[in-house]
Amino acid sequence: MKENRTSNTSTANQRAFILTYLEQNGSATTLDFRNAGIMAPAPRIKELREQGHIITTFFETVTDHVGVKHGKVARYLLQGGEKWTHNLLT
């Protein structure tokens, strides 16, 4: 992925960033999106679902960049993205 951060915080740009990120990387957590400049990804995920994208949410424990464990962090998986299709074919 060319750019792993967003400086434009408009909702449309955040949706586009999230969709591209999920298409190219397969999945991402809330912390991944926060590190990319999107502080509240859940509303954007909801809007993408309303647009017809199939995004599954799993919850997991994640350790952040300073070593603190966070329970029940959302991991989003886009069904039909490049990684999803690749995994189905292999």
Q: For the stretch 27-57, what's the b/e string if a residue is b when 16 or more beta carbons lie within 10 angstroms of its beta carbon?
A: bbbbbbbeebebeebeebbeebeeeebebee
Q: How many CB atoms lie within 10 A of CB 81?
A: 22
Does pTM top 0.75 for this prediction?
Answer: yes
- Residue 75, judged by CB atoms within 10 A of its CB (0-12, 13-18, 19+), counts as middle
Per-residue pLDDT tens listing for the chain (90 residues): 345 666 777 999 999 999 999 999 999 999 999 999 999 999 999 999 999 999 999 999 999 889 999 999 999 999 986 555 545 554
